[in-house]
Amino acid sequence: MFDLDRAVATWTESVFADRCVSDARVAELKDHLYCEIERLRAEGHSAEQAFQSAVATLGETTALAAEAAKDRSVLATACVALARAERRDLRRAFRAPLMAHAILWAAVMLGIALMLSKSATPDSLSFLTISLLVPCWWASEQILRRALEQGAAGHGR
Amino acid sequence: MPPSKDMVAASAIPLILSILKSGDSYGYAIIQQVRELSGGEMEWADGMLYPILHRLERRRLVKSYWGTADTGRKRKYYRLHRSGVEELAELRAHWDKLHGMLHRLEGGELCST
């Protein structure tokens, strides 16, 4: 038996796969889809036919996602970039080096924090040192990601 | 002949603002109204409207609020803001001027030969 609500929910999730849109946007798109489905059902279509037809009218999910992207705030764009980066990380080959990198940096930061706590360094300087390490870690990870991706692309050729 | 993509894009904002001037509305109804007004010739891609509405909202030309449809579903309505009325008047003046120019050209008034 065709479950219309479930089909609508699954389709909406596929449009906003990166989940970087507000619930309000999702609700608005859902309402639009239901309006079209109701119109088609009033014309005598079955729930499944109406759903398929409404989805086709609404457009390709990729096209809709592209339209939604034009409308994104800076924060949402950053969120999408992060989500994509995380999806890329799912590549099995990348997991081990990224994990090793994270552990190494965690050890470095912990070691430096311990050293600073035992030395006579003023608190403000200790805080500054640790604060500087965070962007260094981030930059280092970006370099590693890029190197891994270039390596993977090189192998792919 | 249906209007070109450029024409559709250029006319979208004045049409949306004009529709909202006659009363609060929501995405699906706006698309249906444009289709009816154009005699079925102007078909807006459904995904095109919402980014425009959201941009108009950010520019404070329209404001939105949540209501409930007859079916009980949550629905986002749009209302024309005062600055939207002013923007619409300005856009209408541009379109009227363009229309006047085309009309005069067709009538040969501006032909110098």
Domain spans in chain A, listed from the N-terminal domain onward: 4-76, 90-154
CATH topology of domain B5-106: Arc Repressor Mutant, subunit A (1.10.10)
Q: Does B48 touch chain A (CB under 8 A)?
A: yes
On chain A, the residues whose CB falls within 8 A of the CB of B69 are 31
**Cβ B26–A59 below 8 Å, yes or no?**
no
Report chain B (113 residues): mean pLDDT per 10 consecutive residues.
81 95 95 91 81 92 94 94 95 94 80 50
**Cβ B50–A57 below 8 Å, yes or no?**
no
Which chain B residue's Cα is nearest to A63?
Answer: B47
Q: Check if the beta carbon of residue A140 is closer than 8 Å to that of residue A101.
A: yes
Q: Which residues contact A93 (CB under 8 A, 6 or more apart)?
A: A148, A152
Alpha helices, DSSP H only, in chain A?
4-15, 23-42, 47-58, 61-70, 74-89, 92-118, 123-156
Q: Does A152 touch chain B (CB under 8 A)?
A: no
pLDDT at B18: 96
> From the CA of A136, how many Å to the nearest CA of chain B?
36
On chain B, the residues whose CB falls within 8 A of the CB of A31 are 26-28, 69, 73-76
Return the ∠ at Cα A30 (arms to A69 and A76), rounded to 5°.
25
Q: Does B55 touch chain A (CB under 8 A)?
A: yes
| pLDDT tens digits, A59-116 | 654 555 565 566 555 556 666 566 666 655 556 667 788 888 989 999 998 898 888 8
Q: What is the DSSP letter of A44?
A: T
pLDDT at B44: 81
Residue B25 corresponds to which tokens in the numbers above? 């509305």
Per-chain mean pLDDT for chain A: 78
> From the CA of A67, how many Å to the nearest CA of chain B?
6
Q: What is the DSSP letter of B25?
A: B
Nearest to B47 among A27, A31, A59 (CB): A59
Taking CB atoms within 8 Å and a gap of at least 24, the contacts of B86-91 are B87/B17, B87/B61, B88/B14, B88/B17, B88/B18, B88/B21, B91/B13, B91/B14, B91/B17
pLDDT at A155: 60
Residue B19 corresponds to which tokens in the numbers above? 């529709």
Q: How far is CA B11 from CA A71, B15, B22, B91, B111, in A?
A: 19, 6, 17, 10, 28
Nearest to A31 among B47, B48, B74 (CB): B74
Q: What's the rounded mean pLDDT across residues A36-48? A: 93
Q: What is the ipTM of this complex?
A: 0.81
- Using a pLDDT cut of 70, give the percent of chain A over it: 71
